[in-house]
Structure 1
């Protein structure tokens, strides 16, 4: 019972901040699973399955606002899902420390970049939706999808910043796309692949799913109420903390 309570509280906190900032649930949830005794591969598959509930909780809240454009959402899915599958298939072949260090440096860079771009993501200015520019954006989505399928901590943050920087979304819309498409569909695909080729700790799932679902809903609710500037600050805080944690180990 104590382990289940720890799982629930940690999952609730991790997914609350993830829904608020547009990614980063793995900062708490994935290391916690390893700390409580799961091997790396089992913890990875278990975290991926649990993270689908974050997407479901966030979807329940964000769909009330109806910010998503169906055509653009289809582009994100079509470009990113092949990368997710490829990343999930190859992750167990990549040296863990090298991948973690690289991800930490990139994530820290995202936060610092946002800090020094004070207007980034505060206005909705759609761009790069046609022709060659759209192809370039799709290539970036494929790379982000690969990271999402392979690495666990904070990869939703990469999708959030790509949607803002390249496609001109504001933070509120970018986080909505990330949590619904990445959190629910990308993570669901990665969870399916890892569930087939790996092992999931199903007896840990009830507490993890409950924490993820509730945290995703509550974090999304607060993000919608507070608006772009508040989400931007949360994004910067989470990315810098995740980056430092991954680098320092």
Structure 2
């Protein structure tokens, strides 16, 4: 079982670091299938996913990938949403939420695929006060989803950074992995850990796999460039969206 946990964490977090989100596609359902009830699996996944941010940070820090102003906006806007979402997760109707999340995730992948030049290069957007305000509001909403539904919301942040703030996919993924993976997920893990239980005996292998997978995925993304990251993002959106629909309708 421990080797299985390591393999699941390594695969899911490497894919997430490459595509800019989606570790919960593999890791969270796997924890549930291996015997953890949903609240415990969610809290355990959140704690383990912090290592994804650590692993990705170690690799992206060597490239100076982050914009300080945008990073501050992501943290100040998203963290309150994460906290609020994690506080209210048990009050949400899970089947409907999962269905809507699946449809939205598929829409993200289709939207990106239909626009070949989207995220091919950085720039092209002026960061006016109005643009920053709306950008912050959407980041707060995504943060709420991150705290409450967890699976795939990093993909939302990645596409929002590309579409609204004009980043290319490579830079958008770097911001998502470090700021969402490390700080948003850390806030969610702390909040859920206080509310519920964490499967501590499952964490060592999950943490090791998340750390190694995050570093590996970030390394491949930096080496291969924005084009491969964009394709990985679109593919993972479609696969994860279909998976969520099947889960909601089953």
TM, length-normalised to structure 2 = 0.97
Q: Which stretches of structure 1, 4 residues or more, deviate above 3 A after TM superposition?
A: none
Kindly state the Cα deviation for residue 124 of structure 1 after the two structures are TM-superposed. Answer: 0.1
Change (3 A) 1:128 1:106: farther
Give the structure 2 partner of residue 177 of structure 1.
175
Kindly state the Cα deviation for residue 130 of structure 1 after the two structures are TM-superposed. Answer: 2.6
Find the aligned partners of 1:218 and 1:110 in 2 and give their Cα distance. 25
Give the structure 1 partner of residue 154 of structure 2.
156
Find the aligned partners of 1:201 and 1:129 in 2 and give their Cα distance. 43
Kindly state the Cα deviation for residue 126 of structure 1 after the two structures are TM-superposed. Answer: 5.2
* 1:188 aligned residue (186, 189, 203): 186
Give the structure 1 partner of residue 121 of structure 2.
123
Asked if residue 40 in structure 1 is aligned to residue 9 in structure 2, the reply is no
The number of aligned residues is 247
* 2:202 aligned residue (175, 197, 204): 204
| Cα shift readout 1:57-84 (whole Å, capped 9, x = no counterpart) | 0000001110212121111100111000
- Alignment gaps of 5+ in structure 2: none
Find the aligned partners of 2:172 and 2:159 in 1 and give their Cα distance. 8
Kindly state the Cα deviation for residue 129 of structure 1 after the two structures are TM-superposed. Answer: 2.1
Give the structure 1 partner of residue 217 of structure 2.
219
Find the aligned partners of 2:67 and 2:91 in 1 and give their Cα distance. 37
Give the structure 2 partner of residue 232 of structure 1.
230
**Structure 2 matches for 1:67-146, cutoff 5 A?**
67-125=65-123, 127-146=125-144
Find the aligned partners of 2:224 and 2:99 in 1 and give their Cα distance. 33
Kindly state the Cα deviation for residue 248 of structure 1 after the two structures are TM-superposed. Answer: 1.3
Find the aligned partners of 1:97 and 1:133 in 2 and give their Cα distance. 34
Query: Is the contact between residue 24 and residue 238 of structure 1 (CA under 8 Å) also seen in structure 2?
Result: yes
Partner SS for 2:78: helix
Find the aligned partners of 2:51 and 2:159 in 1 and give their Cα distance. 22
Partner SS for 1:15: helix
TM, length-normalised to structure 1 = 0.98
Find the aligned partners of 2:89 and 2:61 in 1 and give their Cα distance. 32
Kindly state the Cα deviation for residue 127 of structure 1 after the two structures are TM-superposed. Answer: 2.3
RMSD: 0.8
Find the aligned partners of 1:146 and 1:161 in 2 and give their Cα distance. 17
Partner SS for 2:165: coil
* 2:23 aligned residue (22, 25, 30): 25
Query: Is the contact between residue 128 and residue 137 of structure 1 (CA under 8 Å) also seen in structure 2?
Result: no
Find the aligned partners of 1:16 and 1:62 in 2 and give their Cα distance. 14
Kindly state the Cα deviation for residue 128 of structure 1 after the two structures are TM-superposed. Answer: 4.6
